[in-house]
Amino acid sequence: MRSRTRRSKEFAPNHATEPKASGGAPRPAPRPRTRRIPFFSVLLIGLLLLDGCTGGAGYLLRAGWSEARILWRRRPITELLARPDLDPALRERLQLALAVREFAAQPLGLRVGQSYTTFADVEGEDLVYVLAAAWRDRLEPSSGGAPRPAPRPRTRRIPFFSVLLIGLLLLDGCTGGAGYLLRAGWSEARILWRRRPITELLARPDLDPALRERLQLALAVREFAAQPLGLRVGQSYTTFADVEGEDLVYVLAAAWRDRLEPFTWRYPLVGRLPYRGFFARPDAEAAARALGAEELDVDIHPAVAFSTLGWFADPLLSSAATGPPVGVAETILHELFHATLYLPGEAAFNESAATFAGHRGAIAFFCSGPGADASRCDEARRRWAAVLARGRVLGRLAARLRGLYAAPPPIPLREQRRAQLLRAAAAALARRGLVSGGLLPPNNARLLGDLLYLTELGTFERLAPGDADLAPALAALVRAVRGEADPFATLEVLASRGERR
């Protein structure tokens, strides 16, 4: 995934501060107690959302909110029974509920799970109104043998797998509270709702010429990614979503100040990641303040492109389509590589490999592929050379900082030396004509955010040096690293083996 600063995001909740276990790490502040919403409750919400796809996004939000409201109000029955001021009639009903539940399990043999171990006060509200219908001329519900109803108004249906993505977001949001649950579902639904087939847009005579060029480019790059590069494309980048200049998500990163190590969050399916996404900047800033109070460096940046790792058909977002054509091609190839290869918990490898695939793929596309254009070929080469150079400078900086942190001097001296190293690196970038901003003031989170995309790029380049064919290099990389505990070590072996041939 990519952002305006070549960073990317995964959708993620907004409260948990669960660090990666590591020796000598300062213990984070205790997490605020939250009521966790279990998986099957989330699945129920997912079913409501799926049903809501036929009724529009408004139903989606109402259904999610109604279920979340119930879940949020639950209290363990045993806790309530311990209260001396509990209403006697309610006490009797709660004791009865526990007794009936046990009887249902044994001797009746019913499946009880954790059902009826909690109580939710819905304050006299009617939770839902159920509508039923039947034909007047026969005793039959309206679902069978019906005359053809009047045509329904045309709506944009959100496909099942897109709704499943929302379900994954909700599952991840269980650690962040019901508020995140709704924001995550709404943010993803908003993107899906705005998608339009690129072929339909290209048929419009009034389409903006610059956008037309980007859409045509997206289809061409997508085909090139499939063949000859062999990337998994599915139906991604066959649609376009106008997000109206909005920042879709704000990405928060954090790192320890006394060592070059990212603060990580754990997610289902994708493992640990060194960033967390927020759908409103104030939420990101509040979480950043909490982490900063624990003596961590923090960084917030907006993300303008994302990958769902091949599970769903990613659209080309308007936020990603505004860049130069070479940049658009790099972004599409970067994200499609994520759909082809993603190693859970290996963020630096995933992003650096995608950086290699995106830049080298763009060079192949514009220099010898279907997008052959001399000026764009030169631009693609310059951009890749600049990324490689930046990676080398920041890699050396990281090595020096690790040496500093290995034998830490007193904090004031450490901070002084850290600033000196960063100023030297900024000067080295400036001498090469590269952007040097962002290194100062010292911020380990920001530096690690850059390195996430720039780690061992020289080793990746050795897989297909110069103008060597990229497709077999990518195929060999994907085969070699899957299931490996240390993908960077496997990369080195693969690169060395290729050089000996």
53-103, pLDDT tens digit by residue? 444 444 555 565 566 667 667 788 988 998 888 988 999 999 999 889 888
Amino acid at 485: A
Contacts of 235 (CB under 8 A, 6+ apart): 313
**Residue 97 domain flag:** no
Question: For residues 131 and 206, what is the distance between their CA atoms, to the nearest angstrom?
Answer: 44
Does 480 or 166 have the greater pLDDT score? Answer: 480
Lowest-pLDDT choice from 129-138, 167-176, 295-304:
167-176
Bridging pattern class, strands 118-120 and 74-76: antiparallel
According to DSSP, the residues that pair with 251 across neighbouring strands are: 277, 301
Backbone angles phi, psi at 76, to 5 degrees: -60, 135
Nearest residue to 315 via CA among 191, 223, 216: 191
Amino acid 9 reads K
Q: Does residue 455 form part of some domain?
A: yes
pLDDT of 336 reads 95
Q: 456 lies in a domain?
A: yes
Percent of the chain with pLDDT over 90: 46
Examine residue 145 and state whether it is found in any structural domain, yes or no. no
User: Which domain does 358 fall in, by range?
Assistant: 206-235+323-501
Which tops the pLDDT comparison, 244 or 483?
483
Nearest C-alpha neighbor of 355 from the set 469, 248, 226, 460: 460
**Cis omega before residue 472 (within 30°)?**
no
Q: What is the pLDDT of residues 302-316, one digit of tens each?
A: 876 777 776 678 899
Instruction: Give the rounded distance of the alpha carbon of 445 from its chain centre.
Output: 18
Tokens at 400, concatenated: 């020096």
| Cα angle, residue 104 at apex, residues 100 and 108 outer, rounded to 5° | 140
Q: At what angle do helices 209-226 and 325-340 cross, to 10 degrees?
A: 40
3-state secondary structure at position 420:
helix
Distance, in Å, from the CA atom of 384 to the CA atom of 390, rounded to the nearest integer, reads 10
Among the listed residues 8, 67, 25, 79, the one whose alpha carbon sits nearest the alpha carbon of residue 305: 8
- DSSP label at residue 122: -
Q: What is the pLDDT of residues 141-200, one digit of tens each?
A: 865 444 444 444 443 444 444 444 444 444 444 345 445 545 655 666 677 788 899 999
In a domain? residue 215: yes
Maximum CA extent, the chain: 89
Distance CA 180, CA 171 (A): 10
Find out whether 275 and 9 touch, Cβ atoms under 8 Å. Answer: yes
Whether this model's pTM surpasses 0.85: no
Give 359's DSSP letter.
H
Within a domain: 360: yes
**Higher model confidence: residue 50 or residue 286?**
286
The predicted structure's pLDDT at residue 372: 96
373 within some domain: yes
**Three-state SS for 97?**
helix
Residue 62 has a pLDDT of 59
- Judging by beta carbons within 10 Å of its beta carbon (0-12, 13-18, 19+), is residue 184 exposed, middle or buried? buried
Residue 6's SS3 state is coil
Domain count, the chain: 1
Task: Please indicate whether residue 2 or residue 350 has the higher confidence score (pLDDT).
Answer: 350
435 in a structural domain:
yes
Distance CA 446, CA 440 (A): 10
- pLDDT reading at 260 higher than 70: yes
In this predicted structure, the answer to whether residue 227 has a pLDDT above a threshold of 50 is yes
User: Which residue type is seen at 225?
Assistant: A
